[in-house]
């Protein structure tokens, strides 16, 4: 069997028997340039997150942060995933400093992470930083391939659940 690559075509010649030959022409697999730019989860910049004091710890204040600009990438295809992200929590003694949260969320831009894993990772990092009474991270990803994804991760200090 002889194989030759010419542009995007792959030509294969082979022998059925002593007198019968075949030639097959196929498309050669193109390298996935998008997937080459995908970074691992260790590129998520948790060091940039900062906590600031919350002066009303017994007030039952509920804090909401929302953005339509959350972006990560599919770990297999490298295609971008765009989401509406909501972070809701009851703080105890700390709030997250907003500029640090913005930089943290931006660090996901080229990270290959499953949509369902992203909300859990954000929840885990923020709970570790803030030790809130409760927290919820919700994402609604834009439709891709005819499927829309919505994922919610929860933490409640009293139930020890995520």
* Per-residue pLDDT of the chain in tens (162 residues, 90 and over written 9): 444 444 444 455 555 556 665 555 555 455 555 556 788 899 999 999 999 999 999 899 999 999 999 999 999 888 999 999 999 999 999 999 999 999 999 999 999 999 999 999 999 999 999 999 999 999 999 998 899 999 999 999 998 644
Q: Which residues of 60-98 are buried (b: 16+ CB within 10 A; e: fewer)?
A: eeeeebeeeebbbbbbeebeebebebbbbbbbeebbbbe
Please check whether residue 15 is in contact with residue 21, taking contact to mean a CB–CB distance below 8 angstroms: yes
> Of 19, 58, 68, 81, which residue is the catalytic one?
81
Two structure tokens written together for 161: 């659940």
Annotated active-site residue 25? The verdict is no
> Of 42, 45, 55, 74, which residue is the catalytic one?
74
């Amino acid at each position: 069997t002889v194989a030759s690559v010419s542009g995007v075509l792959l030509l294969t010649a082979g022998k059925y028997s002593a007198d019968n030959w075949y030639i097959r022409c196929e498309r050669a697999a193109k390298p996935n340039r998008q997937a080459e730019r995908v970074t691992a989860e260790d590129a998520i910049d948790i060091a940039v997150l900062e906590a600031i004091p919350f002066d009303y710890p017994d007030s039952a204040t509920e804090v909401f942060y929302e953005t339509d600009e959350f972006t990560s990438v599919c770990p297999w295809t490298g295609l971008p995933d765009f989401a509406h992200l909501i972070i809701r929590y009851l703080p105890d003694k700390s709030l997250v400093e907003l500029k640090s949260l913005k930089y943290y969320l931006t660090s996901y831009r080229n990270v290959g992470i499953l949509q369902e894993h992203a909300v859990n990772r954000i929840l885990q990092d923020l709970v570790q930083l803030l030790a809130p009474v409760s927290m919820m991270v919700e994402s609604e990803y834009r439709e891709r391939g005819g499927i829309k994804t919505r994922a919610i991760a929860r933490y409640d200090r009293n139930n020890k659940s995520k």
